[in-house]
Structure 1
């Protein structure tokens, strides 16, 4: 519950902050769109990139206290932003302090979940955790738009500060024993346990081979009666052995393709999510209607996040689905710039709702597939390294893309060019993965043929 609360708060209050853009531009009229956009880029950049800082601080401070400290820092930052009339204080409070404080919670809670659940329940915990992103994406636009319309943007930020303060509740769910030292000790313990289990399995397997001639008939009878115990045990043993015996997968050239995808995807994603509110408002759509339409992205993304449970490499490689999702999102963003008839807003509302639903579905799928793609392309041994680089580049893309799009808005006096830039970035993010068709032998994917041959070998050995 602490994990899902942290995702609701971090996604709802940072990734959906674009709803404040127009009001902040009016309040800080001396600041350009690019300067205001910098605030909205620094926060998600620090949210994604605080992992390195969190890892270092965990060696000095207990994880629970880190999350609570981060919550306090973020809350103070938002409170400062709600009362300031100075741009630099706005950048410091709403951008730096808010992003860094919430980033501690977003990075530490998944670690706590990893070591709080066993192999049988961990995937369920992470499914619930990822669902929090979708819930935050639904609640954020609707709630903030209502508060701004009913009160003011300053009072709305007071509510945001109250939401970030609830991260202290998430912090209280983190075990006091979770520190960097204990995490490494748990890893060594898990590795030792797996090694011990493999030794036992090897001994048992050797003894079973010696008794093979005596037990062949009874084993055949059990197989005929549908008893799955032997097959399941062999399959679990094979999984453990595959993980330990996994060869070192070369980082290059696949790392170039994947990390290029990440930074271009980040640029496109944060540009779209920051300016989509203002773009639709410029087309004379009511703020309440705009917030409801954008909330569809978060709602439908939950379906996309859940759907990855059935996505395996058996028929279509996961990276192909991942690549296709970026190309689809590119086309969706382009469709936002198609001129629509002015018929009172009903046609626009329906079309934009459909486009946001398609965007949300592909966003949920691609976002949730990233950890699996890391394993498919680079193996378990390099998973931590590649995922850390992915988070860093996601933050870098936010810092680069959003202010650049703000400069485009100031120069061209329209959101059309920033949206075209976002669409092109999504397209590049998809096409840059095309070379994987020729380097597919370098990534880890168990084909149906390999699986069938292993199953046949196990049955023959029995």
Structure 2
């Protein structure tokens, strides 16, 4: 009995192959979230080529973001039913096919299906949640730091892909850029192959304390193929989870707008295309600092019990940045906005799986993350088109105000 218990906790926890899992999850977030965010670089190209307004064009980004989150429970289900490895490999293949097919688009409606449905709901959704779940199964003490590094792929990807996408568009047109992106995203299949599940006999003997051994045992159970039916969804009725879920819905309603409209807003303010793309890069690289520094800080013993407070602080300061955004009408003023918003956005992104795990426990983390990212779906779907309508109203008000002042 004691031998069997020892074998269950003998997993490669807090190191070893776990860092390869972190690297794989890093590349998954690099592709899924960064590609989604960099669609804003294609925004003007789509608008000019198909001749549609802000709101209709914004549906492309909305559908990719929404469907990735809407189908997050599907990723959790396949990851639990079969394996996280299977889910990520399948998702990477479908996302690549969707991007390649998008390069042959003849209408916005075509892109709604290939980018929004095939790449977003089927491809990225199958990769995202299982990859994040795998990090939680390999780490206990260093969980926040591991998640911070893994989630920093989103920021690094945005930093690198935004100017790269702009250059690819200039050299090969938006069609060629999407075709190249499809080949690049196919590497998600390699990441999936590296996601080796923890088995009772894998890894050296555990050296973690008893408290961590309990978490490790629960983490091991959560990644078993048959755990979906066993673990249930009792966490859904817990008050702490309900409050956390409500905060995610409100947060998702506004956090994606700067990534959709920062580039077109900067262009409207007279910023050139390269500088506008640079703003997206700044968002990305500063987001990396938020990912890693908040992950490292909240792993400290003095803050480990106050991760929820750190999450609230990051979200509150991110919202404050959005309040002053309409006053920024030059590249020099938009740079500080990109720095501050990027930092606090990176902080909260890294803390989402951490605070979720703290609330529901490691046994329910896979299903809970599926629900959490599902709750992001509808705000991601509706807020960019609504923001596009208000963009016209605000831009019209701004022009009329300037004319009235000049006339006066």
Whether TM exceeds 0.5 here: the answer is yes
Q: CA deviation at 1:148?
A: 2.1
Check the 8 A contact 1:102/1:164 in 2, yes or no: no
Residue 289 of structure 2 corresponds to which residue in structure 1? Answer: 303
Residue 96 of structure 2 corresponds to which residue in structure 1? Answer: 75
Q: CA deviation at 1:151?
A: 3.4
Residue 316 of structure 2 corresponds to which residue in structure 1? Answer: 327
* TM-score, with length taken from structure 2: 0.75
Residue 43 of structure 2 corresponds to which residue in structure 1? Answer: 21
Q: CA deviation at 1:41?
A: 1.1
Residue 39 of structure 1 corresponds to which residue in structure 2? Answer: 60
Residue 246 of structure 2 corresponds to which residue in structure 1? Answer: 260
Between the two structures, name the one with larger relative contact order (CA 8 Å, sep ≥ 6): 2
Q: CA deviation at 1:49?
A: 3.5
Is it true that 1:140 corresponds to 2:161 in the alignment? Answer: yes
Mapped to 1, the partners of 2:139 and 2:327 lie a distance apart of: 50
How many residues align? The count is 354
Deviation digits for residues 115-148 of structure 1, max 9, x if unmatched?
A: 5x46577766544422322211211211112222
Mapped to 1, the partners of 2:153 and 2:42 lie a distance apart of: 22
Residue 30 of structure 2 corresponds to which residue in structure 1? Answer: 8
Change in 2 beyond 3 A, CA 1:378/1:119: closer
Residue 348 of structure 2 corresponds to which residue in structure 1? Answer: 366
The answer for unaligned runs of 5 or more in structure 1 is 198-231, 341-347, 417-462
Q: CA deviation at 1:102?
A: 2.1
Q: CA deviation at 1:249?
A: 8.7
Q: CA deviation at 1:101?
A: 0.7
- 310, 318, 324: which is aligned to 2:307? 318
Q: CA deviation at 1:323?
A: 1.8
Q: How does 1:25-424 map to 2 (within 5 A)?
A: 25-29=47-51, 31-58=52-79, 63-99=84-120, 100-114=122-136, 117=138, 125-175=146-196, 178=197, 236-237=209-210, 251=237, 253-308=239-294, 309-311=296-298, 314=302, 317-338=306-327, 340=329, 348-380=330-362, 383-410=365-392
Q: CA deviation at 1:314?
A: 3.6
Change in 2 beyond 3 A, CA 1:107/1:376: closer
Mapped to 2, the partners of 1:68 and 1:93 lie a distance apart of: 19
Check the 8 A contact 2:31/2:185 in 1, yes or no: yes
Deviation digits for residues 173-216 of structure 1, max 9, x if unmatched?
A: 234xx5xxxx7xx5xx59xxx9xx9xxxxxxxxxxxxxxxxxxx
Check the 8 A contact 1:67/1:105 in 2, yes or no: yes
- SS in structure 2 at match of 1:85: coil
Change in 2 beyond 3 A, CA 1:242/1:51: closer
Change in 2 beyond 3 A, CA 1:98/1:153: same
Please say which structure displays the higher CA radius of gyration. 1
Change in 2 beyond 3 A, CA 1:258/1:289: same
Mapped to 2, the partners of 1:160 and 1:6 lie a distance apart of: 14
Check the 8 A contact 2:328/2:334 in 1, yes or no: no
Q: CA deviation at 1:2?
A: 2.9
The answer for unaligned runs of 5 or more in structure 2 is 1-22, 218-233, 399-408
- SS in structure 1 at match of 2:74: helix
Check the 8 A contact 1:147/1:153 in 2, yes or no: yes
Which is further off, 33-42 or 308-317?
Answer: 308-317
Check the 8 A contact 2:159/2:283 in 1, yes or no: yes
Change in 2 beyond 3 A, CA 1:414/1:133: farther
Deviation digits for residues 232-265 of structure 1, max 9, x if unmatched?
A: 99xx335657999xxx999554444322211121
Deviation digits for residues 55-93 of structure 1, max 9, x if unmatched?
A: 333466554444333222222222222212122211101
Check the 8 A contact 1:9/1:136 in 2, yes or no: yes
Q: CA deviation at 1:281?
A: 0.7
- SS in structure 1 at match of 2:157: helix
Mapped to 1, the partners of 2:256 and 2:240 lie a distance apart of: 24
- SS in structure 2 at match of 1:83: coil
- SS in structure 2 at match of 1:336: helix
Check the 8 A contact 2:93/2:123 in 1, yes or no: yes
Change in 2 beyond 3 A, CA 1:64/1:402: same
Change in 2 beyond 3 A, CA 1:65/1:377: closer
Q: CA deviation at 1:408?
A: 2.8
Deviation digits for residues 240-298 of structure 1, max 9, x if unmatched?
A: 57999xxx999554444322211121121112211111000111101101111221111
Mapped to 2, the partners of 1:281 and 1:413 lie a distance apart of: 12
Q: CA deviation at 1:338?
A: 1.0
